Structure 1
Amino acid sequence: MNRIQICVSVSCIAYSLLFGIAKGDVFGKDQPITLILLDITPMLPVLDGVVMELQDCALPLLREVIPTDKEEVAFKDLDAAILVGSMPRREGMERKDLLKANVAIFKSQGAALEKYAKKTVKVLVVGNPANTNCLIAAKSAPSIPKENFSCLTRLDHNRARSQVPVWRSGLSITLCVILFNNVSLLFYYTKVNMAGSDLACFDVVKDDDWLKGAFISTVQQRGAAVIAARKLSSAMSAAKAICDHMRDIWSGTPEGEFVSMGVYSSSNSYGVAEDLIYSFPVHIKDKQWKIVDGLAINDFSRGKMDATAAELVEERDTAVTFLSA
């Protein structure tokens, strides 16, 4: 079997992510892989230590680990790219300045993907603002299908699932899909084991005050709560979400099930403007995603979705001015 090449831009999250990829949790238990670790030049000595650790794990699927600070090396003939790093917001930095800095990063990485990677490469953007960073990377790689680019909303999806206790509904919840962007709440949908019925979360939980209040705030503030508690970001849960996301792209979703994923909006699904990366419910087969249409949306969720789309349009339009500068 041919090995696949995966580039990971390294960060605290990536350190937690690499072991799962290397031992086969993402691309399969019989799929040999090459890991390419991309970081800035001052971090190369640290990457050498990461390489040594991966070697010491003696993982049978891991054929090679290549540390580099050069995009032409990192993106050469890639099958998958996981872009974890981005410019974090610093004290006193305006959002416009943050966008400008990230446009420069993801314009460069998109151009490198365009020049060096396989046209079938699957690209996952994690670094925030992930939706717009992903869109900039896709626009900078015009010969790679925009459907090959996605951004991570799975962490909030997983966080939200963990907040919906069975006791609130009194039913056996078999599938709970919760859709978020990294800007604001979208909507959530629950399938329950009740005569094969699919019901909206509001109809199952029957606690509107909690769903509109504590549920949303808990999920939205979870990252900050983790940082406050452990004095570091939520690297383990983020790494798990990345593995979940890429595994679903590679292996597909079970028939009848769907997941949250930030993907390219091109068909006005759910009334969302075109030319955005937006979190939708998707079903995946043969490495191709398809938006699951027709889920019921109440007025509360509709308002949140529209607010998110408006914010993303504004963010996109600002970022595009930097892209063409």
Structure 2
Amino acid sequence: MPDPVRVLVTGAAGQIGYSLVPLIARGHLLGPDQPVILHLLDIPAAVQSLEGLEMELLDGAFPLLRGIVATTDILHGAAGVKVAVMLGGFPRKEGMERKDVMAKNVTIYKTQATALEAHADNDVKVVVVANPANTNALILKEHAPKIPSKNITCLTRLDHNRAVAQIAHRAGLPVPNVRNVIIWGNHSSTQYPDVNHGIVKTLDGSKKPIREVIKDDAWLNGDFIKTVQQRGAEVIRLRKFSSALSAANAVCDHVYNWVRGTPEGQWVSMGVSSDGSYGVPVGLMFSFPVKTRKGEWEIVKGLKIDAFSKEKLDATTAELVEEKALADSIIKGSSQ
């Protein structure tokens, strides 16, 4: 087997971390032939939960798990890591305005950016999960200029998976039969789940456009979009906790495809730094359809965007531009 890869998980003692780390230890993040050393980072108040998580990982006797670094020190946690999964962030609490949450996360992600830049592997791959994921990733990117911007991403694979699952369920087909849906924009309620370029492999083996198989444009342009946009809130309403199992699974899907590649003719959704494609401002962290190969992603170009889709893209772009301006103002204020 190859040498172990060091994987950092921040906020590891939280709900998503508890669901994620055994998946990593079982090879779902980097593959069934890749040993890992897990770096588990959390705040001092969670140290006992972190110790308990380390005990459970040891008790799991995972064949691919070659070591555990459980720490509350970001410098120690970042040392030598090749993959960083950023679950940790300050959640919005009752009575807090968005700028207050952003201010907390600016401080957190500036610190983590500095640590990763100084101590992680030179080619570290980062996926930001904590909300607001796109803007947290942007903050990290701007404060870690030595890390290639293409190596910093945010998670919209959960939204992508939700969209695929909704289409598969509606069509009465297995999930792998649905391909090339797209999540555009922000990991928020303005995101746009787009099926216009997606295909379905039917039971007879033929490949047909999603709209041709579903045959219900009113649903695809209405309830389908709302369901995907609001799915996280609905899970919280029912479970009283945020999505953990599905988020952990999506993190594994995101990194696995990034490292191992996407199948020929298929793409997935990733939040990446815009190169100006589809009119999105350069440098904005935005979810695009991407193809991946040998650890590199590439935005799928040249897709036709109709008027309905253009309106949706403009709305989510505007929200991200506003978030970026708010983050920039907080950063500027804190440096004065």
Separation of aligned partners in 2, 1:16 and 1:169: 28
| AA aligned opposite 2:326 | T
TM-score of the superposed pair, with normalisation by structure 1: 0.94
Which deviations, in whole Å up to 9, do the C-alpha atoms of 1:93-118 show, x marking residues without a partner? 11111111111111111111111111
The residue correspondences of 1:1-325 to structure 2 (distance < 5 A) are 1-9=2-10, 10=12, 11-165=14-168, 173-180=177-184, 181-183=186-188, 184-186=190-192, 187-188=194-195, 189-193=197-201, 199=209, 201-202=210-211, 204-266=213-275, 268-324=276-332, 325=334
Which deviations, in whole Å up to 9, do the C-alpha atoms of 1:133-175 show, x marking residues without a partner? 00100111101100000000011111111111476599x9542
CA RMSD of aligned residues (A): 2.0
Which deviations, in whole Å up to 9, do the C-alpha atoms of 1:177-235 show, x marking residues without a partner? 23143131323331234897774x44553322212221111112211222222222221
Separation of aligned partners in 2, 1:169 and 1:205: 10
Distance change in 2, residues 1:69/1:166 (3 Å): closer
Does the 8 Å CA contact 1:114/1:143 hold for their aligned counterparts?
yes
Separation of aligned partners in 2, 1:135 and 1:81: 15
Does the 8 Å CA contact 2:37/2:66 hold for their aligned counterparts?
yes
Does the 8 Å CA contact 2:284/2:321 hold for their aligned counterparts?
yes
Percent sequence identity over aligned pairs: 47
| AA aligned opposite 1:230 | R
Distance change in 2, residues 1:167/1:79 (3 Å): closer
TM-score of the superposed pair, with normalisation by structure 2: 0.91
How many residues matched? 322
Distance change in 2, residues 1:298/1:168 (3 Å): farther
Distance change in 2, residues 1:108/1:167 (3 Å): closer
Shift in Å, 1:296: 2.1
SS in structure 1 of the partner of residue 30 of structure 2: coil
SS in structure 2 of the partner of residue 283 of structure 1: strand
Larger CA deviation: 29-38 vs 50-59: 29-38
Which deviations, in whole Å up to 9, do the C-alpha atoms of 1:230-285 show, x marking residues without a partner? 2222211111101100111111111111100000012x111111110000000000
Gaps of 5+ in 2: none
Separation of aligned partners in 2, 1:178 and 1:144: 27
Does the 8 Å CA contact 1:7/1:38 hold for their aligned counterparts?
yes
Separation of aligned partners in 2, 1:210 and 1:169: 16
Does the 8 Å CA contact 2:29/2:251 hold for their aligned counterparts?
no
Distance change in 2, residues 1:130/1:260 (3 Å): same
Distance change in 2, residues 1:254/1:42 (3 Å): same
SS in structure 2 of the partner of residue 81 of structure 1: strand
| AA aligned opposite 1:321 | S
SS in structure 2 of the partner of residue 163 of structure 1: helix
| AA aligned opposite 2:162 | R
Which deviations, in whole Å up to 9, do the C-alpha atoms of 1:8-57 show, x marking residues without a partner? 01121010000010011111222111101000011111111000000001
SS in structure 2 of the partner of residue 99 of structure 1: helix
Separation of aligned partners in 2, 1:165 and 1:63: 38
Does the 8 Å CA contact 1:282/1:292 hold for their aligned counterparts?
yes
Separation of aligned partners in 2, 1:226 and 1:47: 25
Larger CA deviation: 234-243 vs 23-32: 23-32
| AA aligned opposite 1:3 | P
Larger CA deviation: 146-155 vs 212-221: 212-221
Shift in Å, 1:2: 1.5
| AA aligned opposite 1:178 | I
Separation of aligned partners in 2, 1:35 and 1:113: 15
Separation of aligned partners in 1, 2:56 and 2:187: 32
SS in structure 1 of the partner of residue 198 of structure 2: strand
SS in structure 1 of the partner of residue 301 of structure 2: coil
| AA aligned opposite 1:185 | Q
Gaps of 5+ in 1: none
Does the 8 Å CA contact 1:131/1:151 hold for their aligned counterparts?
yes
Does the 8 Å CA contact 1:169/1:204 hold for their aligned counterparts?
no
Separation of aligned partners in 1, 2:66 and 2:240: 35
